[in-house]
Each structure stands twice: as C-alpha cells, then as structure tokens.
Amino acid sequence: MSLNTILQLGLLGGLGGEDSSIGTVISTLMYFSFILFIFFGQKIQLWTMLWNASGSIKKLEYMRTDAKNLTLKTIREIGKPKEDPASRLNSLMEHFLISPVDLDPAGIVPKLDHLLDVRDDKFKSDVKRIAPEADDVQVNNLENLVEVSLALNTIFRIVRHFYLLGKKTSSFYLILQLQMILPLVMQQAEALIGASKAFSKGQPIGDGVGPLIVSKLMIGKRKRKIDKDVIVAKTKFEGRNAIVLKAEGPGGNVGKPGNAVRKIITENKGKISMVVMIDAALKFEGEKTGEISEGIGAAIGGIGTEKFKIEEETSKFKIPLYAIIIKESIQEAITPMKKEINDAVEKAIDKVRSLVKENSKKGDTIIIAGIGNSIGIGQ
C-alpha cells in the first residue's frame, strides 16, 4: 500500500492526494502559527506551564491527603483516642515556628535552640494527647509521622500559593520559577510519602545508618541516657576507651547529640583525643548509594544548633573532629533503609577503626557519635 493509497483512503485525515491543495494548506498553517507565536508565544508557554503546574498540584494534594489519612489511621490504631483526632491533626498540620530575630546574630543559637525545644515538647505533648494509649516509642514514631504530614501540607500550600499568584497576575517569570523547581519539589514530596509509610510501621530509614553503626558497637555494653533522647555507652575500641552515643531508639528520634558531646567532654575535663561523627550524607547524582567518605568537621544536619554546640566545644578544647559519611539520596534518606546502606555498616566500622588507629594512641578516650534518626534501631 503506497502513501497515495493511504491518503486516498483517508487514513491520514484526507491529507494529500493528487487533487488536494495540501501544500497551500500546510504553508498557510505555517504562516499562521508563525504569526501566532510572534504575538502570543509567551502566553502559550505560560498556559502550558500553568497546565503542567496544575497537574503537579493535584498530585501534591493527593499525596497530602494520603499522608493525612495514613496518620489518622495509625493514630486510631495505636492511640485509641476517645474523640475524633481529625480536627486536632488538622491544627498540628498547620503548626509553625517563628525564627528568632537575626538583626544582631550574636547569641541567636541558644534562642533558636530554646524555641526548637519548646516546639518539640509541644508537638510531643499534642501527639500524646491525640494518641493517649501510645507508649513512648510509638509517640516518637507518631510525631515523625505527623511531621511528614505537616511537611507535605506545607509543600502543597506553598506550591499552590505561587501557582495561584502566577495565574492571578499572569506573571510569566513567577510561573517559570515554579516550573523550574517543581521536579525537585515533587521528588521530595514522593520521598516524604515513602517516609510516612516507614514511620507508620516503625521501619529503619536510610538516615538511621549512623545510629545503626554505633548500635553495633554498643551491643552488650551498659547504656545510660546522657541527655534528651541520647544514649551513651563505654566500650573498648582498638585499645581506646570509646564513648559511643546515638539517639535513643527504636522510636523515631534524632536526640540532641550536641548537648551529649558537650556533657561527655565536660565529664572528661576536655581530655578527649578525638571525636568521630558518623552520619548519612547526600550523594551527588552518579555516585553509588552506600559509598563511604572520610573528612573533617561536624557531620550533622538539621537547623545548625547541634552542629554549633559540637564545633564550639571541640574548638574550645582543641579536640580533632573527624567525619565519616555514608552517601545516599534524599529519597533514600527518609524511606526504608536500602540493602546497600545496610551493607555499608561493616565497611564504615572498618573505616572508623583505621581512623582511630591512625589518629589516637592506645588508652586514649575518644567519642564516636552516630548521628541520625534512630527509628527502628534499638541499642
């Protein structure tokens, strides 16, 4: 069947054929679209971008509802509340924190730290109120779950705000900026949905690799709570007296490792040979998950208050600060722990071993801190 036959049969919509003026139609269409794009090109692009953004907003709204429903289901299952927790959960999902004024930045860290403590306590007590039957571990997991719902709600509200604002003002550049960051925002939202499932079941997440490594060094040792949600144990490590610390598990906790390191250094009158911090860190695209790198500095994320305390204390006593990171993506960090990350545990311990051997002497006291969320990881 030749093209002519196809055209005559009308399979291409009656285009072509010996008697048709297809050439004229095509060239007229070309001229018309050329003129159309000269005058309305940006408008057409704006509509396309708005159309794309509206699709993403619908997806974000669905994710937000999904996370909220999962949170409500888990609260009802674990907490057995007498009243309907929906309205209280709605108000928790709109919770916010006003950062302290930074016109005069000196002394801002303690202020921020105080506000974070207040927020954490308030959040925890609110979660306990809506889930009265939940134990401490479950309250921590539920708190994490509510945080995920809050994050998804915030993402949805912000994206919708810029979408509607751009639509209202027909601002091409506002929508352009939104469209440019949307793939990354969607990636983060999808990761948060994965996190909500892990938190509802109490499964270890990728970020927990630091506490997981340290928990292996704590097995069979006497543990004590040194600060809010932080557990320490003393152990012998390559002939050194190692003080190992991690967030208290198996509930979802990151604890306050800054305070813990400060207390340990004070208890030992500054006689600490080195501090090794182990944490999950974001990998670059193209890098393998579970790869381990070694460096200098405080390997700890978050808003910066804990990092500040560790840096301040170690610099005060001139204690060398080493970092070991396990590479993973943002999605891998908050979704159930991948096998590659779990397999990195032994390699990371070997890395710590060689780092300690090279940089301290036998009999020295050292600190090994596993940083991260210890959900699903006991001690």
Footprint on this chain of another protein (rule: CB under 8 A): 1-4, 6-7, 12, 15-16, 22-23, 201-204, 212, 215, 219, 249-250, 335-342, 345, 376-379
Dist CA 169 CA 175 (whole Å)? 10
**Contact between residue 323 and residue 367 where contact means Cβ atoms under 8 Å apart:** no
Q: What is the three-class DSSP state of 75?
A: helix
What are the tokens at 268? 């030992």
Q: Residue 43 carries which side chain, given as an amino acid letter?
A: K
Report the C-alpha dihedral over residues 231, 339, 345, 275, rounded to 10 degrees.
-60
Instruction: Give which of 301, 221, 305, 228 is closest to 260, Cα–Cα.
Output: 228
C-beta of 261 vs 377, nearer to another protein:
377
The nearest distance, CB 218 to another protein, in angstroms, is: 8
Q: What H or E segment, with its residue span, contains residue 366? A: strand 365-370
C-beta of 208 vs 258, nearer to another protein:
208
Dist CA 260 CA 368 (whole Å)? 11
C-beta of 6 vs 165, nearer to another protein:
6
C-beta of 203 vs 365, nearer to another protein:
203
C-beta of 4 vs 354, nearer to another protein:
4
Dist CA 94 CA 92 (whole Å)? 5
C-beta of 7 vs 146, nearer to another protein:
7
The nearest distance, CB 170 to another protein, in angstroms, is: 28
Strands 223-227 and 230-237: antiparallel
C-beta of 306 vs 332, nearer to another protein:
332
DSSP per-residue string spanning 247-289 = E--SSS----HHHHHHHHHHHTTT--SEEEEEEEEEPPTTSPT
The nearest distance, CB 168 to another protein, in angstroms, is: 31
The nearest distance, CB 99 to another protein, in angstroms, is: 34
The nearest distance, CB 63 to another protein, in angstroms, is: 14
The nearest distance, CB 283 to another protein, in angstroms, is: 17
Q: Chain centroid to CA 54: how far? A: 25
Positive or negative, the CA dihedral 273, 324, 281, 216 is negative
The nearest distance, CB 12 to another protein, in angstroms, is: 6
C-beta of 319 vs 333, nearer to another protein:
333
The nearest distance, CB 338 to another protein, in angstroms, is: 5
